[in-house]
């Protein structure tokens, strides 16, 4: 049931940044054997980071902060 919910959930209901919705739509449309366009997907994530003034290169992770 959870897998079906994830596959069919309308992304607009999740109130996500547009890049996350584009990411999920792209991934949902991939065929099983199709190679993802990783550059496109990275650019979407970089766009979110830029929009929210978040650095992806600070090497700080949740498990590093005590």
Identify whether 34 is part of a domain.
Answer: yes
Nearby residues of 61 by Cβ (< 8 Å), 6 or more positions away: none
Identify whether 45 is part of a domain.
Answer: yes
Identify whether 61 is part of a domain.
Answer: no
Identify whether 62 is part of a domain.
Answer: no
Report the 10 Å Cβ neighbour count for 23.
19
pTM of the model: 0.76
In this predicted model, what pLDDT tens digit does every residue of 33-49 receive, in sequence order?
999 999 999 999 999 99
| The total number of structural domains that make up the chain | 1
Q: Which residues form the domain of 20?
A: 14-52
Distance of CA 4 to the CA centre of its chain: 19
Identify whether 65 is part of a domain.
Answer: no
In this predicted model, what pLDDT tens digit does every residue of 4-30 receive, in sequence order?
988 888 888 888 999 999 999 999 999
């Amino acid at each position: 049931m959870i897998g079906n919910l994830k596959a069919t959930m309308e992304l607009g209901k999740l109130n996500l940044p547009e890049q996350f919705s584009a990411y999920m739509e792209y991934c949902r449309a991939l065929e099983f054997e199709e190679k993802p366009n990783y550059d496109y997907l990275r650019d979407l994530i970089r766009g979110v980071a830029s929009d929210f003034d978040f650095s992806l290169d600070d090497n700080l992770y949740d498990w590093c902060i005590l």
